[in-house]
């Protein structure tokens, strides 16, 4: 980031090219650039928050293993089914892909979990009534 070394109270002055210097975040905070830094930090979130966001976005998805090949399959190879992807990486392989698929919801399992939860809550309420809680 470029910052004017001879900055005034209201910001940098653009007098000469050599007045401009590289400034770190601490320098900017000392020079009163907190508002500017806040804007930049909002535009570019940290790596950790980007990973968290990506993790949340991919929760309902299953990401497969990398598959390698020497070239991308042509339309004819895909239609005929003659193109083969390899799971093992080698020096000849120049392209790779990963399959991503949406996780399916087991409706019977969800209904059973919901039924058991309701049953548990009912039993808990009955127990509270018996104990006068």
Domain boundaries, the chain: 2-43, 60-102, 105-133
CA distance 85 to 70: 9
What pLDDT is recorded for position 77? 92
What pLDDT is recorded for position 50? 77
What residues does 69 pair with on adjacent strands?
95
Give the number of other CB atoms < 10 A from CB of residue 88.
8
> How many residues does the structure list for the chain?
133
CA distance 37 to 108: 51
| Mean pLDDT (10-residue bins), the chain, 133 residues | 48 51 56 61 71 78 90 92 91 90 84 94 94 87
pTM of the entire predicted model: 0.38
């Amino acid at each position: 980031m470029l910052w004017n070394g001879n900055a005034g109270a209201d910001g940098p002055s653009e007098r000469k090219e050599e007045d401009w210097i590289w400034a770190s975040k601490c320098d900017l905070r000392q020079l009163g650039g907190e508002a500017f830094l806040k804007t930049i930090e909002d535009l570019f979130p940290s790596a950790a928050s980007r990973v968290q966001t990506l993790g949340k976005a991919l929760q309902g998805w299953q990401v497969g293993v990398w598959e390698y090949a020497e070239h991308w399959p042509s339309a004819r190879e895909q239609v005929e089914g003659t193109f083969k992807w390899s799971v093992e990486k080698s020096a000849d392989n120049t392209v790779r892909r990963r399959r991503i698929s949406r996780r399916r919801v087991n409706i019977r399992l969800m209904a059973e979990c919901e039924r058991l939860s309701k049953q548990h809550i009912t039993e808990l309420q009955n127990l509270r009534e018996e104990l006068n809680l």
